[in-house]
Chains A and B, each alone.
Chain A
Amino acid sequence: MTAATSSATSLRAEQDRGRRKAQNKEKWAQGRTYISAAVILIWCLAPAYWMVVTAFREVGFTYDTSILPTHVTLDNFNTAFDTSFGNRFGQALLNSVFIGGVVTLVSLIIGVFAAYALARLNFRFKYMVLGFILGASMFPGVALITPLFQLFTNIGWMGSYQALIIPNISFVLPLTVYTMTSFFREMPWELEESARVDGCTQGQAFRKVIMPLAAPAIFTTAILAFISSWNEFLIASQLSSDATQPVTVAIANFAGAQPNQIPYTAIMAAGTIVTIPLVILVLVFQRKIVAGLTAGAVK
């Protein structure tokens, strides 16, 4: 009786030891995950943090290396918008919003029909069209710029808004079609079928049933399209003028009071202004954006 109990106790002790060992191993694995996660966080955020900290630092302490904000000031933001050294940052912000807005709008209006057809209809050459659109999105900008440079010089469009908007469409439109096509594939199309059974035409079914459902997908695509237009630099750096240059060009050419002294703090302030709205937008719609970004690559 006692022997049986003691052997049962030792067995339990053995099991306990085994379980504890497994738990320790689990804890160790969890610990490593947290360390890795911390490394990723620091790697991704530290440079961006440094930009913001520098943006709020007095010019005299540009190279201050204390990690926490020191010598905090808002002066750099004034300097960023100051036009006395030939910078037109404020104008450039408006230009970027305008160019990005028009490009996004045009691409969405044109692209939504193509995406619907590619996601929904069966027709010949579907894969050829998809391949063509995908190829277009991977197309190198430099291959477009030379003929456009000559064409726009000849017809006097150099430095005009349309000279910046039209090439932008060439890479935003494929992206729009591509992203929306993958979103549209995931939608509950049975509803469209039922609407049609109830007597709607395909067009009516699309307008009244599908459009409201597709709104989030279209909105996400709009954000991605706008970001990609907002980030464009190559075309704008060659085809824009002082009056029409977007923010990326303005920041790249940002000049200071002295020609050989780079106004880092003001540039970081300008960078912060350009980046913060995007980062907020992206974080708020994080899930949708990630779905849009990875759309098509894995489905």
Chain B
Amino acid sequence: MATEVGPTPVKAPASGGAPIHHGPKGVGEDNKILSQGKWASWLLAPTIIALAVVIIYPIISAIVMSFQKDAGLDPATGLFTAGGPAGVQNYVNWIAQQCSAPAGGTVACPPGTLGAQFWSATATTFFFTVVTVAFETVLGFWMAMIMARAFKGRSLVRAAVLVPWAIPTAVTAKLWFFIFAFEGIANKLFNTSILWTGSEWPAKWAVVIADVWKTTPFMALLILAGLQMIPAEVYEAAKVDGATAWQRFRLITLPLVKPALMVAILFRTLDALRMFDLPYILTGGANNTTTLSILVINQIRQGFNAAAALSTITFIIIFLVAFIFVRFLGANVVEQSGATGKGKK
């Protein structure tokens, strides 16, 4: 990748907005680009190789594994059976929730087994994603609007929002586990006696609340950075023209902050789709809080190849969501981050 050393057709302006001084002429533009391409490939090689080893190799390996049968004891004969090519059987097993039957062939997985949890885990994952990202977007936008205003103590607020972000998720999960304990502060404060991690909806909301607490600051900071790119004169001009506060928000703030907002939502969505730490520690995946990631982890010790198929399905789901975002919702991450020479406002 990127080892192309041929002359680049278009000489783009230098990055960073700095005008490039070509020094003494005569070497020729082509040579310069040629040497830049060569330089770039040398400089990028370590990163690309490292990522190929730690990411591309496992992906390919997982895909190969997912088409293999898990070795194990044959439930019918009690004899050890070696693995072997399985075709798409692993995928069919997950999606159709079929488990291998003692008599050979497959039957619908009995409730409670991992195989029966694929669709409920998918539903849970999407529930967490949609609900947490929605809350985080609204709350984060509100926090960003406050932090963008000028008031005494603004830097204190900006520092405070970094605290939940800086606490490791595992610690966050334990902390909220304590807050939501039966005798914990949450029940005392609201004068309720809910077994938060004991039944489905309280457990789900416990995960949502803890996740919103932990990740809203990240959202708020991304949106704040977007808000600060909007020049104040635009608002002044709108005020002079008699625009109301709501009109200014709807017609200036929203469209101008949209690129940053879309990137923030995309990042958070992809992150929420792979959610693992928080439900795993807070509820242990009990009461229908098992996400796809937790299901993969639970499956690993029961059979690598079935787990590989499930992790590939998870990967494809996340990839599709990212694709939809970038293609249809205009979250242009690469252009946002890769745009060079545009300079700061």
Identify the A interface with B (CB < 8 A).
30, 33-34, 36-37, 40-41, 43-45, 47-48, 50-51, 54, 63, 65, 110-111, 113-114, 116-136, 138-151, 166-167, 169-170, 173-174, 177-178, 181-182, 184-190, 193-194, 196-197, 202, 227, 230-231, 233-234, 237-238, 247-249, 251-252, 254, 262, 264, 267-268, 271, 274-275, 278-279, 281-283, 286, 289-290, 293-299
Contact = CB atoms under 8 A, between A and B. Distances in A.
Contact of A271 (B17, B155, B171, B270): B171
Given A124-B2, A146-B296, A133 B51 contact: yes
- Chain B binding surface, main DSSP class: helix
Given A47-B213, A136-B55, A298 B336 contact: yes
A150 to B, nearest CB: 5
Closest 3 CB pairs of A and B: A296-B337, A248-B170, A170-B54
Given A130-B338, A138-B318, A297-B260, 19 more contacts: A110-B46, A116-B43, A117-B44, A121-B40, A123-B8, A123-B41, A124-B2, A134-B333, A139-B55, A140-B314, A166-B54, A177-B47, A188-B18, A190-B19, A247-B170, A286-B155, A290-B158, A290-B162, A297-B336
Given A33-B146, A248-B168, A142 B185 contact: no
B222 interface: yes
Nearest to A178: B337
Contacts of A181: 337
Nearest to A264: B178
A54 B340 contact: no
Given A126-B338, A290-B158, A298-B222, A142 B297 contact: yes
Contacts of A278: 166-168
Given A37-B146, A297-B337, A123 B4 contact: yes
A142 B162 contact: no
B26 interface: no
Contacts of B37: 121, 123-124
Contacts of A48: 163-164, 167, 175
B71 to A, nearest CB: 11
A126 B338 CA distance: 9
A231 B281 CA distance: 14
A126 B2 contact: yes
A146 B70 CA distance: 13
B334 A279 contact: no
B7 to A, nearest CB: 10
B2 A129 contact: yes
A177 B124 CA distance: 33
A138 B338 contact: no
Contacts of A173: 47, 50-51, 54
Interface residues of B, number: 122
Contact of A230 (B23, B168, B229): B168
A182 B225 CA distance: 14
A115 to B, nearest CB: 9
A19 B14 CA distance: 51
Nearest to A277: B166
B318 A140 contact: yes
Residue among A30, A147, A279 facing the most chain B CB atoms (10 A cut-off): A147
Interface string B147-189: 1010101111111111111111111011110110101110011
B146 A128 contact: no
Contact of A299 (B142, B164, B336): B336
B173 to A, nearest CB: 7
20 contacts: A43-B213, A50-B179, A117-B40, A122-B36, A134-B333, A143-B312, A144-B54, A144-B58, A146-B65, A186-B16, A196-B23, A197-B21, A202-B39, A233-B168, A238-B297, A248-B170, A252-B174, A268-B175, A298-B336, A299-B344
A47 B173 contact: no
A113 B46 contact: yes
Interface string B215-241: 001100110111001000000000000
Nearest to B47: A114
A298 B225 contact: yes
A252 to B, nearest CB: 5
A114 B229 CA distance: 27
Contact of B21 (A131, A193, A238): A193
Contacts of B164: 44, 47-48
B76 interface: no
Interface stretch (B94-102, B106-114, B199-207, B272-280): B272-280
